Amino acid sequence: AGVFTYDPGFTSTAACDSAITYIDGGEGVLLHRGYAIGELAEKSHYLEVCYLLLNGELPTAAEMEKFESLVTNHTMVHEQMHKFFSGFRRDAHPMAIMVGVVGAMSAFYHDSTDISDPHQREVATIRLIAKMPTIAAMAFKYTTGQPFVYPRNDLDYAANFLRMCFAVPAEEYEVNPILARAMDRIFTLHADHEQNASTSTVRLASSSGANPFACIAAGIACLWGPSHGGANQACLEMLQEIGTVDRIPEYIARAKDKNDPFRLMGFGHRVYKNFDPRATVMKQSADEVLDLLGVEDKPILQVAKELEKAALADPYFAEKKLFPNVDFYSGIILEAMGFPTSMFTPIFALSRTVGWISQWKEMIEDPAMKIGRPRQLYTGATQRDYTNVEDRD
Ligand code: CMC
């Protein structure tokens, strides 16, 4: 037996070195390749951030045009995959469909699963970034019983996604540019977040040499949990359960009660202990969208606003440094746009795909890469003799 450092939840152990994303949780700083998230959300757009995360530098105009055209030319999914979708129950959670469909991409696109070939790695990267919105929108359409809407390559990434989700065949659908911009911001603000649980899952899965589609499916599975990507759905469901502003104190009291497992969803973060810089931008975006859609008087959004105020004014949350996180506001925007709560985490998954794949690329290209193999502190029985079933009490 060896002597190992025990660090449950990896609160103080670095599992890799990485040049992609920097976070200073105390100061509320988040940088991608050195650029502040606030500046990227304001001045850049999702596909440019994808290029930056993948390649380390902002693209020139020509590089951006090439990257954008590559992504746009891969948005369609294999026609055979439509049959694969129809094998699921209509009432399946879209995340369950996404785990299955993205994992199955290795069956449909096996010509880009050889990770020793740099060209295949690049093709897999483009395929994943290009097809995730199509797959997420198809999962949505499938679970609502509507026909699939094919991607339109004259639209930008976010507008195309909104159209695939909300257009109905044979009916005109104009994407509102303010909503497309808000959607693009949601994608941008979720693009990467260094070694969070799903990214670490992708790294661990990839460390065995598994193909990128299988590894991203593992990331999607991990993201689904309510402590991670599932928090945006859980947060909106909590707001629905609270229902009216007068019930907020009851829920605040429950969140503070140590004998009650209830937590305020959308509050707190493992790394950010003062504020979440993504939440600052997302809050602005939420205000813009709510202004546009004129839904200020929707009860659930009132509950959100009042809950935020009440929690921020409460010493319990201040002492424990619990602030609204990015998912508190993204859920509100998505609700206002008309997405059902079950689509919130799939949208997080499609946004985070570039982060997962950038971290995968960094790891695969590192000559010092080793298979991930955590150790343990064994706490079970010492060796003992087997007893036959008839001799057991
Ligand atoms: N409501 C009430 N109390 C809380 C909350 C909350 N949302 N979050 C943490 N606490 C308390 C917790 O009970 C503990 O109290 P004590 O020290 O008395 O035992 C203390 O604060 C520290 O909590 P922790 O669980 O040790 O902190 P953590 O860093 O392990 O957890 C977290 C971080 C995000 C899992 C947690 O804050 C949480 O469960 N939040 C709600 C779920 C959520 O919104 N998750 C989304 C995270 S952001 C998106 C993403 O990255 O996926």
Q: Nearest Cα to 347, choosing from 239, 202, 185, 199?
A: 185
Of all protein residues, whose CA lies closest to atom 11 belonging to ligand 1?
A: 320
The full 3-state SS of 223-271, as one line of letters, equals: HCCCCCCCHHHHHHHHHHHHCCHHHHHHHHHHHHCCCCCCCCCCECCCC
Question: How far apart, in Å, do the first and last CA atoms of the chain sit?
Answer: 32
User: ipTM of the assembly?
Assistant: 0.94
- pTM, entire model: 0.91
Q: Which of 156, 184, 276, 327 is catalytic?
A: 327
Q: What are phi and psi of 26, to 5 degrees?
A: -65, -40
Strands 35-36 and 29-32: antiparallel
269 catalytically annotated: yes
Confirm if 248 and 264 have CB atoms less than 8 A apart.
no
Q: Nearest Cα to 130, choosing from 172, 69, 191, 79?
A: 69
Which atom from ligand 1 is nearest to the alpha carbon of 320? 21
pLDDT at 296: 61
Which atom from ligand 1 is nearest to the alpha carbon of 196? 51
Confirm if 285 and 333 have CB atoms less than 8 A apart.
yes
Say which amino acid occupies 35. Answer: Y
Q: Which of 45, 74, 93, 269 is catalytic?
A: 269
Burial class (CB in 10 A: 0-12, 13-18, 19+), 97: buried
Q: Which two tokens stand for residue 14?
A: 């670095």
List residues near ligand 1 (CB under 6 A): 193, 196, 227-229, 231, 255, 263-270, 320, 322, 325-327
pLDDT at 151: 96
For the stretch 381-390, pLDDT in tens is: 999 999 999 9
Helices assigned H by DSSP within the chain: 37-43, 46-55, 61-72, 80-86, 94-108, 118-144, 157-166, 177-189, 197-206, 212-223, 231-242, 248-256, 277-293, 299-312, 315-319, 326-337, 344-364
Of all protein residues, whose CA lies closest to atom 31 belonging to ligand 1?
A: 270
Which atom from ligand 1 is nearest to the alpha carbon of 270? 29
Q: Which two tokens stand for residue 368?
A: 């010092």
- The CATH superfamily holding the domain 231-337 is Cytochrome P450-Terp, domain 2 (1.10.230.10)
What is the length of the chain? 393
Ligand 1 geometric centre to CA of 263 (Å): 7
Residues 6+ positions from 351 with CB-CB distance below 8 Å: 46, 186, 187, 188, 189, 190, 191
Domain 70-226+344-364 has CATH 1.10.580.10: yes
For the stretch 10-65, pLDDT in tens is: 999 999 999 999 999 989 999 999 999 999 999 999 999 999 999 999 999 999 99
pLDDT at 1: 54
Tell me the pLDDT of the chain (393 aa) as tens digits.
568 899 999 999 999 999 999 999 989 999 999 999 999 999 999 999 999 999 999 999 999 999 999 999 999 999 999 999 999 999 999 999 999 999 999 999 999 999 999 999 999 999 999 999 999 999 999 999 999 999 999 999 999 999 999 999 778 889 999 999 999 999 999 999 999 999 999 999 999 999 999 999 999 999 999 888 888 888 999 999 999 999 999 999 999 999 999 999 999 998 898 888 999 899 889 888 888 887 666 788 789 889 999 999 999 999 999 999 888 889 989 988 999 999 999 999 999 999 999 999 999 999 989 999 999 999 999 999 999 999 998
Ligand 1 geometric centre to CA of 325 (Å): 10
d(CA 24, CA 205): 27
Q: What is the DSSP secondary-structure string of 124-184?
A: HHHHHHHHHHHHHHHHHHHHHTPPP----TTS-HHHHHHHHHH--TTS--PPPHHHHHHHH
Confirm if 335 and 304 have CB atoms less than 8 A apart.
no
For the stretch 260-301, pLDDT in tens is: 999 999 999 988 988 889 998 998 898 888 888 876 667 887
Q: Nearest Cα to 149, choosing from 193, 89, 159?
A: 159
* Phi and psi based region of residue 170 (left: phi greater than 0; alpha: psi -120 to 50; beta: remaining): left
Which atom from ligand 1 is nearest to the alpha carbon of 229? 52
Domain spans of the chain, in order of start: 70-226+344-364, 231-337
Ligand 1 geometric centre to CA of 9 (Å): 13
Of all protein residues, whose CA lies closest to atom 51 belonging to ligand 1?
A: 228
91 catalytically annotated: no
Count CB-CB contacts under 10 A for residue 22.
14
Ligand 1 geometric centre to CA of 85 (Å): 35
Count CB-CB contacts under 10 A for residue 127.
21
Ligand 1 geometric centre to CA of 14 (Å): 21
Q: Which of 269, 280, 326 to mutate to test the pocket of ligand 1 (most atoms within 8 A of CB)?
A: 269
Confirm if 292 and 46 have CB atoms less than 8 A apart.
no
